[in-house]
Structure 1
């Protein structure tokens, strides 16, 4: 069996170095929860397959997640070391330093509260003088800021007195105490500012440096699985949603779709398009049936690949942006079996053709066609071609990934890169020092994280274990995408791409059937109906919400975006 190390898409643009990849790399520095998810549920979880990557490369994201984790862990360790070392070396100086730091913090709170409270107080007096009506919210805000200002000034006064009191209790001259406190303060400032600058510098590397490549056994396994031909999907649970819970019913098809990692299911032919394979001419169906059949399913798939390849051009009007095509073979978790050699490397072309020609096998082949805008907006079309019951069946589905969160695009802003940005980050880290001290308890998770990374070096998906299923549990890209409802203009572009691919696939299939002398009159009629129908397939052209029609009808309180979910078909 001819095998290769990984399965790459048939494209001409090289490795996946997209904006989405770099934005997600930046996200692991900006979002601790995202970083924890990447490390624990992707890298350390070697007993489940990695979800396919669409429009981005997962390996650099994982590499940067570990870099960000190491920087944060080092920061907590250094802060804790300075704090504990100060307590052991000079407890009085440590207490005085804490008092002075608290004094600075209280003064900052007092200034911020005063800047808000003074204008509100002036407005209150003006309203009282002019006898104007005041909103309760304004009075409540003023009272809250006045309380904050009072507490801050009271705390500042107490902390000013605390330093001489500490000096007297410890029996240390005030000048000597202040010298020791200054030494500890300098160390604290160096640690906080240095870690903040290092963190910001690492964040800047995600925008301009070369993306890291897989250089370890686990990284190579992740890279292989994200591009693998075979995808193991999770079937829907046995428990069906309650009939009255329409939101769960609407979400069920999308959350348990087999196309893991591809995003929201936006378009599907339901039921699939079927056409009887009959010869051209008159007569009964029995007289016009082919015997043997004029072609096999893999021949049509090969023809569609050839025709769709013409869309992979030079980013001009003859092509689609970042066009890709590949074979995807889906298998449900319960059908994996103990023999898993097919998970290692890529299947040969002959093996894929055999799977295509077996419509009732545990393996389900889909021709995958993808186009994306910088990896940020990814549209993926899936087409399953089968020949069974003397008929051709075409199962079409389309999924879409919306853009990554805006907060991950921070480096695109003006003045967010360069030396000045690093200096700002260093100063900001100093103001966040109390939070870092409070967060240092997270160091207790370090041993478990490192132990999980050590266990992940073994590819456990290849070794069957009773009761353990190996399907991908999550997709990083699906977890970090903007909601479908907020992608107004992007939805139009996605629909445009889907229709372009759908139209070309149907026309290519029509030409293939014509070459094979198959009667295509019925096929052309249905194909034309699919191409020209917008409401039936997309469900976005007409919305009827919160209505009741007919005898004993009951109005249902459904979400406003009820009509935007897919679920159409063809006639």
Structure 2
């Protein structure tokens, strides 16, 4: 069956997409989470793309799972042969010892295996297969324990917790390594001393090593072919598996990633945007500026609406982007500006809806052929048109400003909403910062640069890592098979849901470097300044006074408040703030500095 080809998206070739594709080969847990979110829970729409196209990530995850399952089957066959050889050798040993006419049962063989047979194992307490299994399990535990501290730091836990996890991981690593080396030395000593009656105790570990070697080689070929920094820009990524399930899934995800609309849950509306910054807002009464000729201030422009205010902010941001593109290499040259609708959940991703008016913005379709899926471009355009000025509590339109900096490692998003009802102007600004992709995912370039390996080096690596790789692959395959990967084939009607997780956010850390944090702060402040400029121009263009607006402009920086004009009085901020006023003839327009912690 031919595969399902992947459409191109504006984020299909970003660095974040490449690193997440590589991450599904490097982390089995992340790989399972990708499949769980995109395949197992087909009732959930995907979160808005934040610099990542999730379709190639899913394609690589499914491909890695296929390799994993094939490898697990081979490993299971080898281990079954290993254990069966022990059983047969024990059975033969008991038959020779008890006589040809003796009735040797399976219970006798099992007892002999567990108690140890000197003639079979050379004095070892366990048969060869179980002893080698202890070696493999110990090495796998040592490998897993070694990364606990790094995982804790990547999760953004406090330093004491991360250090404790690192110390516990190191202790467990030493203990597991010592355990594995003890039994490995015992195993090799008996094998080299000629205690084995047949060569199978050496052949089966060699077979396990070859299977693990083939598995690792296949992963390395995939990374080099599709996901290296040199090939990713031009390589055609692998297709999704064939069949109607993945065809429908591809179409749904493509439509949702291209739509400027997302469904949300009340508890977590802004899924995938990262850490929330300091929000700020202000409210002011719209006071008309009198004109000498007595005409209405907005006779030619009309009253100030939310749509009109956003339309005045957008050119300010567009000018910022064009200026940055002309004058340097600042990431503001790639500033993204669009409007996005946040719609309450409760609608299935493929449910057809009828576009209604402002009073009834959307109604469920009852067989109407003109109905459209909620993420259809016509539906999205209708929501953008109808909801921008309604000021509703559920359906909301935001101006979304996005900067993908440091090769999409730092994502700054600023959401802007304007209200103009009741002769009031209310501006709401919500900034978010999403951290870089996990460090172990970013290390894929260092790993790929060392490839291809020489045969001796690859053979030594396979011998050293094969026991741990075999156990890890088997456990990961069991976790995959235990999941509900093919629930899309079920006739059960899924309950409509909302995006619960963003793959980009799942692969992100909260550890920003000093320069990254400086840049994120600069982007937020620059965008906020342009937003203020756009609102100021909107007030002037529609004939409203701007004096009160100038006095209500808050530039939040470490808790301080800048006031454009003030004559007399005092200002204090912070829980311990304290302000006093003494008449010293302070000139109007000076900043009133806060006293006390902000």
Q: TM-score range by the shorter chain?
A: 0.5 to 0.7
1:267 aligns with 2:278: yes
For residue 318 of structure 2, the aligned residue among 295, 309, 323 is: 309
Determine if the alignment matches structure 1 residue 392 to structure 2 residue 425.
yes
Correspondent of 1:206 among 202, 223, 227: 227
Quote how far apart the aligned CAs of 1:325 are.
1.6
1:431 equivalent in alignment to 2:441: no
Give, in whole Å, the separation in 2 of the partners of 1:104 and 1:534: 56
Match of 1:36 among 20, 32, 45: 32
**Is 1:525 aligned with 2:558?**
no
SS at structure 2 position matched to 1:49: coil
Match of 1:473 in 2: 500
Aligned CA distance change for structure 1 residues 360 and 19 (closer, same or farther; 3 Å): same
CA contact (8 A) 2:304 2:542 kept: yes
Deviation of 1:277 (Å): 1.9
Long gaps (5+) in structure 1: 1-6, 113-139, 168-176, 237-255, 550-567
Matched, 1:366 2:377: no
Residue among 531, 538, 544 paired with 1:512: 538
> Offset of 1:521 from its aligned partner?
1.2
Are 2:209 and 2:463, in contact at CA under 8 Å, matched by a contact in 1? yes
Correspondence for 2:252: 221
Provide the TM-score with structure 2 as the length reference.
0.65
CA distance in structure 2 between the aligned counterparts of 1:407 and 1:372, rounded to whole angstroms:
20
Contact kept? 2:46, 2:257, Cα under 8 Å: yes
Match of 2:388 in 1: 356
8 Å contact kept, 1:403–1:481: yes
SS of corresponding position for 1:301:
helix
Query: Compared with structure 1, are the counterparts of its residues 446 and 90 closer, same or farther at alpha carbon in structure 2 (3 Å cutoff)?
Result: same
Matches within 5 A, 1:121-136: none
Aligned mates of 1:67, 1:277 — CA distance in 2: 59
Kept in 1, the 8 Å contact 2:71–2:211? The answer is yes
Taking the TM superposition and a 5 Å limit, the aligned residue runs for 1:162-561 are 164=195, 166-167=196-197, 177-178=198-199, 184=204, 187-204=207-224, 205-207=226-228, 208-209=231-232, 210=235, 212=237, 216-236=247-267, 256=268, 258-269=269-280, 272-281=281-290, 294-313=303-322, 315-317=325-327, 320-333=332-345, 339=364, 341=372, 343-346=374-377, 347=379, 349=381, 351-360=383-392, 362-373=394-405, 374-413=407-446, 416-420=449-453, 427-439=460-472, 440=474, 443-449=477-483, 452-455=485-488, 468=495, 470-484=497-511, 486-527=512-553, 530-531=554-555, 533-536=557-560
Contact 2:46-2:253 at 8 Å conserved across structures = yes
Aligned to 2:565: none
Do the aligned partners of residues 162 and 70 (structure 1) sit closer, same or farther apart at CA in structure 2, a change above 3 Å counting?
farther
CA distance 1:22–1:513, shift in 2 (3 Å): same
The answer to whether the 8 Å contact 2:135/2:184 transfers is: no
Q: 1:184 offset after TM fit, Å?
A: 4.7
- Please list the CA deviations of residues 233-291 of structure 1 after superposition, one character each: whole Å capped at 9, or x if unmatched: 2223xxxxxxxxxxxxxxxxxxx3x221111111211xx32222221149xxxx99999
* Contact 1:59–1:222 under 8 Å retained in 2: yes
Two-structure CA RMSD over aligned residues (Å): 4.7
Whole-angstrom distance in 1 between the partners of 2:129 and 2:204? 13
1:194–1:426 contact (8 Å) kept in structure 2: no
| Aligned counterparts of 1:80 and 1:350: Cα–Cα separation in 2 | 56
CA distance in 1, matches of 2:83, 2:179: 31
Q: Is the 8 A contact 1:411 1:417 kept in 2?
A: no
Q: Is the 8 A contact 2:411 2:433 kept in 1?
A: yes
* SS in structure 1 of the partner of residue 485 of structure 2: helix
Task: For residue 41 of structure 2, give the secondary structure of its aligned residue in structure 1.
Answer: coil
Separation in 1, partners of 2:82, 2:177: 36
CA distance in 1, matches of 2:309, 2:177: 76
For 2:573 and 2:514, the matched residues in 1 are separated by 16
CA contact (8 A) 1:28 1:61 kept: yes
Is the CA contact (8 Å cut-off) linking 1:380 and 1:400 kept in structure 2? yes
Which of 73, 80, 105 matches 2:76?
Answer: 80
Residues 358 and 410 (structure 1), Cα distance of their counterparts in 2 relative to 1, 3 Å cut? same
Q: How many residues align?
A: 461
Task: Select 1:50's aligned residue among 42, 46, 50.
Answer: 46
Name the counterpart of 2:104: none
Distance 1:43 1:531, change over 3 A: same
Q: 1:324 to 1:190 in 2, by over 3 A?
A: same
Residue 442 and residue 415 in structure 1: after superposition, are their counterparts in 2 closer, same or farther (change >3 A)?
closer
- TM superposition shift of 1:349: 4.2
Q: Deviation at 1:99? A: 6.6
Show CA shifts across 1:100-151 (max 9, x none): 9949969x99xx9xxxxxxxxxxxxxxxxxxxxxxxxxxx99x989986994
Shift of 1:447: 4.5
TM-score, normalised via structure 1 length: 0.68
